[in-house]
Amino acid sequence: MGRSKTSLPSSLMSPNTNPMTRIDTCFEQLKNKNRAGFIPFIMAGDPDYETSLELLKKLPEAGADIIELGVCFTDPMADGQTIQQAGLRALDAGQTLAKTLQMVRAFREGDQDTPIILMGYYNPVYSFGVEKFLNDAKGAGVDGLIIVDLPPEEDEELCLPARQAGLDFIRLATPTTDAARLPLVIKNTSGFVYYVSVAGVTGGNTGATPSVQEAVSRIKTASGLPVAVGFGVKTPEKARETAKSADAVVVGSALIEELAKALDNNPENRDNVTKPVIDKARLLAEAVHSAR
Amino acid sequence: MSEQNLNSYRTGPDTEGRFGIFGGRFVAETLMPLILDLEKEYKSASGDPAFRQEMDYYLKHYVGRPSPLYFAERLTEFVRTKAAIGWGAKIYLKRDELNHTGAHKINNCVGQILLARRMGKTRIIAETGAGQHGVATATVCARFGLPCIVYMGETDVQRQKPNVFRMKLLGAEVIPVSSGTGTLKDAMNDALRDWVTNVADTFYIIGTAAGPHPYPELVRDFQSVIGIEAKAQMHEAEGRLPDVIMACIGGGSNAIGLFHPFLDDKDVEIIGVEAAGHGIDSDKHAASLSAGRPGVLHGNRTYLLQDEDGQIEDAHSISAGLDYPGIGPEHAWLHEAGRVRYVSATDDEALAAFQVCCAQEGIIPALEPAHALARALDKAAEMRNDQILLLNMCGRGDKDIFTVADALGSNI
């Protein structure tokens, strides 16, 4: 097919020629304070648009340094039960990619600083149209993308166009990413690298601390980028431990479990579902921020 | 397709695993090293005469290949009595339903389990829809003494009970999948989740010519034994190539297995038959080429049934084996290239053809090839009586008798 594995123009590769992004600023501030960042994940539209937007707006005050906003998909192959269910609830409530972008726009009206990263799978984006999506996402105030099923082998699909459009493309590195493969994985990555601490789906068990520490330092050295650690960080204790070596800690399933529990306990009244999620986020944020 | 020979339809995929824009490697990073390893191992195995020899041994003595090429005289007469004088092609069946385990699926399973052994993998996982691929995988696992875990949608577990029991008898663990719609696509999601979690020791035997590269290529190659044999057998029987070849398509492994060796024989018309369920215009069908559009699912870009937002829609077919909202990427490419024509048959048409086949030939077909037969009976009637139509009878229908009884309102 003659598709060459191109790199970005050198202007985009050099951090000095670009203005500081919200993500860069965030990590610089964290570094100055010598603390790790807290990155909560919630599913956009779960359990419905309004509740989800309310959650999103409350997260920065609860201690979120960056927010990962899930884009629902019918077939989330890398997610465990908790996030699968969250996606299905969002879909049942009529969530679409367009509504998720609208949610980011609404969030930006009151918050210009907290970086927002969309996390999901490629098909909804591909279906939306890559160019239109990048344009709309940038316009809405999205800062970065994590697209689980786009490895570096498929960089021309979205990663390179996203970088050209001024959006960070955050790559996942995993325990199966060995030294030989790591350079390819981080080559076109920007913003930060997301280290998946365990081979498995979201919400599983985390990796052993020593091997996570080793991986974080290896990836930091190789990429020169901050490294966030996620998949399976469920408790404040685990979050604190992870925050000792990671630049940021991602927590998703543990927050969504709170939401699911609140829905189960009180299916008719959605007014009270945000409180337990925000309370849990606050606990986790405190643990992460006070780890060092 | 600059790197592929434009004079041939048989040179794909390219080094990126693409057939035109279709195919590719859309998987999570955790799986990338695994599929790169598999690609490397497959390349080395394909060039290794000892591997070929081992394959041939098991295909002959364990599977029972070559499967016969059979002149379906009564089906041919059945068509001719309804067609105009001088019309009605000779119908041949490639009888892959006579394979050990009752379908073409075993051809691929033998190949993949030999690869798994070569790679030192000790645990096998698979997804299954109708249960034929699950049974075939459980069979080779028993034969080679490897543990086998089969993911199967809850809906399919209900409608394919005999196959569930077969798998259990063969020592496999069948895990019912309740996520999503509880059918083949969800079983595939859960198998991928298992694989991502058990990367060190596990080999994923994918049953259809889809998934991330190199699966579409290697499944096609393992299934191509169907077309290679059929070509030689047709020369022996008729001294020439058939005019039309036909097969049913869910993911499309039996079809690509029959079609691939014929792709460059430009006088051979090639027709794939998708499942139209209650009708292409209804929302209950599985015809991804006829009614879907390109998207990305399960590691490859291909035609998918999806809504405006890129959410995958439920497929429907009376045949569990065709009940998949996607199709192998090579079929998507052959569709756009115009080399293969893709048509469809409804549940009712398949049921009618199923009964014709039973009554005329004493062959109980699986509901999957009954779809192809439905269109083949029409097609043959439009062909002259000196022409030849070859149909892949890719599976037998013992597994379907309960479904058919139910559909026909019989109590058994």
Looking at residue B31, its pLDDT comes to: 95
Looking at residue B161, its pLDDT comes to: 86
Element (H, E) at B372: helix B367-381
Q: Is the pTM of this model over 0.90?
A: yes
Determine which one of A68, A143, A241, A247 is catalytic. Answer: A68
Residue environment code for A199-220, b if the CB has 16+ CB neighbours within 10 A, otherwise e: bbbbbbebbeeeebbebbebbb
Looking at residue A190, its pLDDT comes to: 96
Average pLDDT value for chain B: 95
SS3 content of chain A, % helix, strand, coil (to 5): 45, 10, 40
Looking at residue B4, its pLDDT comes to: 52
Tokens 């465990």: give the residue: A80
Q: Is A156 marked active-site?
A: no
Q: What is the DSSP letter of A4?
A: -
| Whether pLDDT at B374 is above 70 | yes
Q: CB of B379 within 8 A of CB of B325?
A: no
Average pLDDT value for chain A: 92
Q: Is A68 marked active-site?
A: yes
Tens digits of residue pLDDT in B1-14: 444 556 899 999 99
A275-289, B151-165, B296-310 — which is least confidently predicted?
B151-165
**B262, B265, B269, B272: CA torsion to nearest 10:** 30
Looking at residue A206, its pLDDT comes to: 59
d(CA A67, CA A57): 10
| Whether pLDDT at A16 is above 80 | no
pLDDT-above-90 percentage for chain A: 83
Domain count of the fold of chain A:
1
Chain A hits for B33, CB-CB cut-off 8 Å, are 176-178, 181
Q: Strands, DSSP E only, in A91-186?
A: 116-120, 144-147, 168-169, 172-173
Tens digits of residue pLDDT in A34-44: 999 999 999 99
Residue B24 main-chain phi, psi, to 5 deg: 100, -170
Measure B367 CA to nearest chain A CA, in Å. Answer: 27
| Whether pLDDT at A31 is above 90 | yes
Sheet holding B22-26: strands in order across?
A: B18-19, B22-26, B299-304, B293-297
Tokens in use for B64? 């029972």
Looking at residue B130, its pLDDT comes to: 79
Looking at residue B320, its pLDDT comes to: 84
d(CA A14, CA B140): 54
Mean pLDDT value across residues B229-238: 98
Measure B316 CA to nearest chain A CA, in Å. Answer: 16
Query: Domain of A53: which CATH number?
Result: 3.20.20.70
Looking at residue A8, its pLDDT comes to: 62
Chain A hits for B24, CB-CB cut-off 8 Å, are 153-154
User: Considering the domain boundaries, does residue A124 fall inside one?
Assistant: yes
| Whether pLDDT at A208 is above 70 | no
- Residue from the list B2, B311, B312 with its beta carbon closest to the beta carbon of A1: B2
Supply the Cα-derived Rg of chain A in whole angstroms: 18
Tokens 């490859």: give the residue: B300
Tokens 């080793």: give the residue: A214
| Whether pLDDT at B412 is above 60 | yes
Chain B hits for A172, CB-CB cut-off 8 Å, are 28-30
Q: Is B337 on the interface with A (CB under 8 A)?
A: no
Q: How long, in residues, is chain B?
A: 412
CA nearest to B180 within chain A:
A74
Hey, are the CB atoms on A151 and B29 less than 8 Å from each other?
yes
Tens digits of residue pLDDT in B41-100: 999 999 999 999 999 999 999 999 999 999 999 999 999 999 999 999 999 999 999 999
What region, left, alpha or beta, does residue A191 occupy, with left being phi > 0 and alpha being psi -120 to 50 degrees?
left
Looking at residue A202, its pLDDT comes to: 85
Residue A61 domain boundaries: 34-289
Tens digits of residue pLDDT in B125-136: 999 987 999 999
Inter-helix orientation angle B367-381/B347-361, to 10°:
80
A280-A248-A244 Cα angle (round to 5): 95
Looking at residue A14, its pLDDT comes to: 46
pLDDT-above-70 percentage for chain B: 99
Q: What is the DSSP letter of B145?
A: T
Hey, are the CB atoms on B27 and A151 less than 8 Å from each other?
yes
User: Considering the domain boundaries, does residue A197 fall inside one?
Assistant: yes
| Whether pLDDT at A1 is above 50 | no
Looking at residue B1, its pLDDT comes to: 44
Looking at residue A2, its pLDDT comes to: 39
User: Considering the domain boundaries, does residue A2 fall inside one?
Assistant: no
Q: Is A100 on the interface with B (CB under 8 A)?
A: no
User: Considering the domain boundaries, does residue A163 fall inside one?
Assistant: yes
Chain A hits for B306, CB-CB cut-off 8 Å, are 123, 127
| Whether pLDDT at B155 is above 90 | no
Determine which one of A79, A136, A168, A247 is catalytic. Answer: A79
User: Considering the domain boundaries, does residue A269 fall inside one?
Assistant: yes
d(CA B15, CA B17): 5
Measure A193 CA to nearest chain B CA, in Å. Answer: 12
- Distances, alpha carbon B180 to alpha carbons A149, A223, B14, B160, in Å: 19, 38, 33, 18
Reported as a pLDDT band with limits 50, 70 and 90, residue A267 is confident
Looking at residue B100, its pLDDT comes to: 97
Looking at residue B192, its pLDDT comes to: 94
Reported as a pLDDT band with limits 50, 70 and 90, residue B249 is very high
Q: CB of B392 within 8 A of CB of B255?
A: yes
Reported as a pLDDT band with limits 50, 70 and 90, residue A3 is very low
Task: For residue A58, give the nearest of A273, A252, A289, A243 by alpha carbon.
Answer: A273
User: Considering the domain boundaries, does residue A3 fall inside one?
Assistant: no
Which residue out of A1, A148, A198 would a mutagenesis test of the B interface target, given it has the greatest number of B Cβ atoms within 10 Å? A1
Residues 107..166 of A with a Cβ closer than 8 Å to B: which? Answer: 121-128, 148-151, 153-154
CA nearest to A83 within chain B:
B179
- Residue from the list A3, A128, A148 with its beta carbon closest to the beta carbon of B28: A148
- Distances, alpha carbon A132 to alpha carbons A122, A125, A140, B200, B229, in Å: 14, 9, 12, 40, 49
Residues 6+ apart with CB under 8 A from B24: A153, A154, B16, B17, B18, B212, B213, B296, B299, B300, B301, B329
Hey, are the CB atoms on B309 and A96 less than 8 Å from each other?
yes
What region, left, alpha or beta, does residue A268 occupy, with left being phi > 0 and alpha being psi -120 to 50 degrees?
alpha
Looking at residue A104, its pLDDT comes to: 98
d(CA A45, CA A83): 12
User: Considering the domain boundaries, does residue A1 fall inside one?
Assistant: no
Measure A124 CA to nearest chain B CA, in Å. Answer: 4
Inter-helix orientation angle A253-265/A81-92, to 10°:
60
User: Considering the domain boundaries, does residue A22 fall inside one?
Assistant: no
Chain B hits for A78, CB-CB cut-off 8 Å, are 28, 30, 193, 196
Residues 6+ apart with CB under 8 A from A192: A23, A27, A168, A170, A225, A226, A227, A228, A247, A248
Q: Strands, DSSP E only, in A177-255?
A: 193-196, 227-230, 248-251
Sheet holding B340-346: strands in order across?
A: B69-71, B90-95, B388-393, B244-249, B269-277, B340-346
| Whether pLDDT at A205 is above 80 | no
A69-73, A175-179, B67-71 — which is least confidently predicted?
A175-179
Residue environment code for B356-371, b if the CB has 16+ CB neighbours within 10 A, otherwise e: bbeebbebbbbbbbbb
Residues 6+ apart with CB under 8 A from A135: A165
